[in-house]
């Protein structure tokens, strides 16, 4: 018997990580740490890094959603072919 993979597991993992990051950002904002960092940076590179991080995180969200749907499609194909109890051939060793 093989362990089943939860539906959209990659997306759920990304959502968990994004939630933790957002909570940390909210706590930092509430304590005034982010304001202090942004106001004390004369080059504004901190803002550029933050915007780049947000854009990359959004890209990761779309990719994890895409890969999760592909993983679900693969699971449906495996179940349709009746291969769910057999190990997949991972190549010759």
pLDDT tens digits for 61-72?
A: 999 999 999 988
Rounded-to-integer distance, Cα 31 and Cα 18, Å: 20
Q: What is the C-alpha R_g of the chain?
A: 21
Rounded-to-integer distance, Cα 65 and Cα 25, Å: 23
pLDDT tens digits for 24-55?
A: 999 999 999 999 999 999 999 999 999 999 99
């Amino acid at each position: 018997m093989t362990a089943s993979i939860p539906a959209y597991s990659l997306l759920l993992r990304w959502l968990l990580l994004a939630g933790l990051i957002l909570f940390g950002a909210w706590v930092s904002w509430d304590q005034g740490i982010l304001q202090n960092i942004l106001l004390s940076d004369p080059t504004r590179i901190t803002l550029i890094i933050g915007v780049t991080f947000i854009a990359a995180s959004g890209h990761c969200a779309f990719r994890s959603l895409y890969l999760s749907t592909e993983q679900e499609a693969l699971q449906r194909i495996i179940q349709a072919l009746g291969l769910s109890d057999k190990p997949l051939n991972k190549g010759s060793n």
